[in-house]
Chain A
Amino acid sequence: MTAKIQTNTSMQADESPSQDVHIALRDIRKNYGKAVAIRDLNLNIDRGQFTAIMGPSGCGKSTLLRCLAGLESITTGDILRSGRSIRHQEIWEREMPMVWQSLALFPFLSVLENIEFGLRMSGVSKGERHRRAHEWASKLGLDEYVNRSIDQLSGGQRQRVALARCLVTEPSIILLDEPLSALDAHLSLQMQAELKRLQRELGITFVYVTHSHSEAFSMADKVVIMNEGRVEQEGAPQEIYLKPATSFVARFLGGSSILSCTVKSTETDEVLVDGKDGTFRCTSDEFRTLQVGSKINLIVRADQISLSQESGWADNEVYCRVVGEEFVGALVNLQLETASGCKIFVQLQQRDLKTLDIEVGAGVFANWHPEDCHIIN
Chain B
Amino acid sequence: MHLSQATRIILMVLCAGALAFLYAPIMTNFVFSLTADRFPTLPISGFSTQWYELAFGDDLVIRALLNTALVALIVAPLSTFLGFTAAYTDYRFNFVGKKLLMVFALLPPLVPLVVSGLAMLAYLSRVGLSGNLSAIVISQIVLASPFAMAIIRLRLSQIDGDLEFAAQNLGASNWRAFWEVIIPLTKTSVFAAFLLSFAVSFDEYAVTWFVGGLNETASVRVLSFLQSAVSPRINAIGSFTFVVSMSLILCAQFITLRRFSKEKL
Using a CB–CB cutoff of 8 Å, the interface residues on chain A facing chain B are: 69, 71, 90-92, 94-98, 100, 102, 104-108, 117-118, 121-122, 151, 165, 169
B223-263 interface code vs A (CB 8 A; 1 in, 0 out): 00000000000000000000000000000000000000000
CB < 8 Å neighbour of A92 from B162, B163, B168, B184: B168
Using a CB–CB cutoff of 8 Å, the interface residues on chain B facing chain A are: 160, 162-163, 165-173, 176-177, 180-181, 184-185, 265
Query: Lowest 10 A-B CB distances belong to which pairs?
Result: A121-B171, A104-B166, A118-B170, A104-B162, A91-B168, A108-B184, A121-B172, A92-B168, A92-B171, A98-B169
Task: Name 5 A/B residue pairs within 8 A (Cβ), A-sorted.
Answer: A92-B177, A105-B166, A108-B184, A118-B170, A121-B171
CB < 8 Å neighbour of A71 from B165, B176, B185: B165
A91 closest partner in B (C-beta): B168
Known: A100-B162, A102-B160, A121-B176. A91 touches B181 (CB 8 A): no
CB < 8 Å neighbour of A97 from B163, B170, B176, B181: B170
The DSSP consensus for interface residues of chain B is helix
Contacts of B184 in A (CB 8 A): 108
Q: Please state if A100 and B171 are interface contacts (CB–CB under 8 Å).
A: no
CA distance A169 to B160 in the complex (A): 24
A108 closest partner in B (C-beta): B184
CB distance from A84 to the nearest CB of B (A): 19
Contacts of B177 in A (CB 8 A): 92
Contacts of B265 in A (CB 8 A): 151
Q: Please state if A91 and B169 are interface contacts (CB–CB under 8 Å).
A: yes
CB < 8 Å neighbour of B163 from A71, A91, A96, A104: A104
Contacts of B172 in A (CB 8 A): 92, 121
Q: A92-B172, A165-B170 are in contact. List 12 more A-B contacts (CB 8 A).
A: A91-B168, A92-B169, A100-B162, A100-B166, A102-B160, A102-B162, A104-B165, A121-B167, A121-B176, A151-B265, A169-B170, A169-B171
CA distance A165 to B166 in the complex (A): 10
CB distance from A268 to the nearest CB of B (A): 60
CA distance A69 to B167 in the complex (A): 12
Q: Which of B170, B171, B265 has the most CB of A within 10 A?
A: B170
Contacts of B162 in A (CB 8 A): 100, 102, 104
Known: A108-B185, A151-B265. A98 touches B173 (CB 8 A): no
CB < 8 Å neighbour of B169 from A96, A102, A105, A108: A96
B184 closest partner in A (C-beta): A108
